[in-house]
């Protein structure tokens, strides 16, 4: 099944590059990806500068968000936990809101161009890091993971309230820009930004692989993990940091993306009928990549005049599927 999933991801990756307002033959796509020259240089420009970065961003987002969801569900032993339950998404939203909804005055004050995409990324990651720092500070004094979950949700709610106040007093044009950021967008990430996003996702994946044995121990609870000699507080902080690296980076570069983090781990468990993280980690990564590529393909189909917001596609495609699976087979956890 892992091999089939990997092959399906490869096919959808090529399909994601092939489909769009301009039809490009598959042979020319493979030639361009292999470093060769094609008949029309415009096709090569479209592939290398627009469609390939978008497809790679979808791969990063699918892998990072789904793996973050698996980590959160294992840590909190909660089937509805996702990568943003600790307020990471809200923190990133606060950073972007402070930049955009204050008409860029905060960005100018620190010498940054408030209308540059990199500036939004910097502010989003700073906001996510701020909330993460507060959560890690609380994690040092809170032993119960359920309490930590509630604390994270409260942080997220408080930050969302601040963002709501900023929206209420913002100008119409600034509010529109912030709302567009909140829709989620895979097509705005450039090669220079991928050079930052891709290593961060790889770091998160490697970090998670090193945590596989502690994650399996946590399935039976923190008391069992402690009886096996694990330092649960250290493991908890490691899981939170790994989640923040992946989810925070994706939110900063692509905006908040719904559904993937919560639903994909359940789909992986149901498909592979296992709780072992040795299998769940690669299964979750590949399933997340597959679904995100499928959503990106639907968002950019040629009969749409413009690409649909990725958030709308992930929710409309994924939510009914997950509801059907849960009602039919129950949540496997």
Task: Look at residue 274 and tell me if it is in a domain.
Answer: no
CA pair distance 324, 112, nearest whole angstrom = 47
Task: Look at residue 160 and tell me if it is in a domain.
Answer: yes
Task: Look at residue 305 and tell me if it is in a domain.
Answer: no
Per-residue pLDDT reduced to its tens digit, 135-175 = 778 877 777 777 877 888 888 888 889 989 988 888 888 88
Task: Look at residue 278 and tell me if it is in a domain.
Answer: no
Task: Look at residue 66 and tell me if it is in a domain.
Answer: yes
Per-residue pLDDT reduced to its tens digit, 192-246 = 889 989 999 999 999 999 999 999 888 877 777 788 778 888 888 898 888 888 8
Question: How many domains, the chain?
Answer: 1
Q: What is the pLDDT of residue 110?
A: 47
What 3-state DSSP class applies to 220?
coil
Task: Look at residue 317 and tell me if it is in a domain.
Answer: no
- pLDDT mean for each 10 residues of the chain (333 residues): 95 89 80 81 86 94 94 83 78 84 57 61 81 79 76 85 88 84 86 91 94 88 78 85 88 86 88 91 96 90 73 82 67 47
| pTM for the model | 0.87
Q: What is the pLDDT of residue 31?
A: 85
Secondary structure in 3-state letters for 290-323: HHHHHHHHHHCCCCCCCCCCHHHHHHHHHHHHHH
What 3-state DSSP class applies to 12?
helix
Q: What is the pLDDT of residue 144?
A: 74
Q: Any idea what the CATH number is for the domain that residue 189 is in?
A: 1.10.3470.10
122: containing domain: 29-258
Task: Kindly give, in sequence order, each residue whose CB lies less than 8 Å from that of residue 288, ignoring residues fewer than 6 positions away.
Answer: 62, 63, 64, 65, 66, 67, 260, 264
Task: Look at residue 38 and tell me if it is in a domain.
Answer: yes
Task: Look at residue 300 and tell me if it is in a domain.
Answer: no
């Amino acid at each position: 099944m892992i091999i089939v999933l990997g092959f399906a991801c490869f096919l959808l990756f090529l399909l994601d590059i092939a489909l769009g307002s301009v039809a490009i033959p598959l042979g020319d796509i493979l030639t361009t990806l292999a470093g060769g020259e094609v008949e029309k240089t415009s096709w090569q420009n479209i592939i290398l500068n627009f469609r390939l970065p978008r497809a790679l961003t979808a791969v990063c987002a699918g892998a990072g968000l789904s793996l973050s969801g698996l980590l959160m569900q294992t840590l909190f032993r909660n089937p509805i936990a996702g990568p943003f339950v600790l307020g990471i998404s809200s923190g990133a939203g606060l950073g972007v809101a402070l930049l955009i909804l204050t008409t860029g005055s905060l960005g100018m004050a620190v010498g940054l161009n408030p209308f540059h995409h990199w500036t939004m990324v910097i502010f989003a990651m700073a906001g996510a890091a701020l909330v993460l720092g507060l959560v890690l500070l609380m994690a040092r004094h809170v032993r119960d993971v359920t309490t930590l979950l509630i604390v994270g949700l409260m942080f997220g709610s408080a930050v969302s309230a601040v963002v709501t106040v900023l929206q209420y007093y913002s100008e119409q044009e600034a509010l529109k820009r912030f709302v567009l950021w909140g829709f989620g967008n895979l097509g705005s990430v450039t090669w220079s930004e991928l050079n930052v996003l891709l290593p961060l996702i790889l770091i998160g994946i490697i970090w998670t692989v090193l945590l596989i044995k502690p994650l399996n121990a946590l399935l039976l609870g923190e008391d069992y993990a402690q009886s096996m000699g694990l330092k649960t507080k250290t493991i908890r902080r490691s899981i939170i940091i790994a989640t923040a690296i992946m989810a925070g980076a994706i939110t900063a570069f692509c905006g908040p993306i719904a559904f993937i983090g919560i639903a994909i781990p359940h789909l992986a468990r149901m498909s592979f009928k296992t709780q072992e993280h040795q299998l769940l980690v690669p299964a979750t990564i590949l399933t997340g990549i597959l679904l995100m590529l499928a959503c990106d393909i639907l968002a950019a189909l040629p009969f749409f005049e413009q690409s649909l917001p990725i958030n709308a596609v992930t929710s409309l495609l994924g939510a009914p599927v997950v509801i059907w699976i849960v009602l039919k087979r129950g949540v496997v956890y």
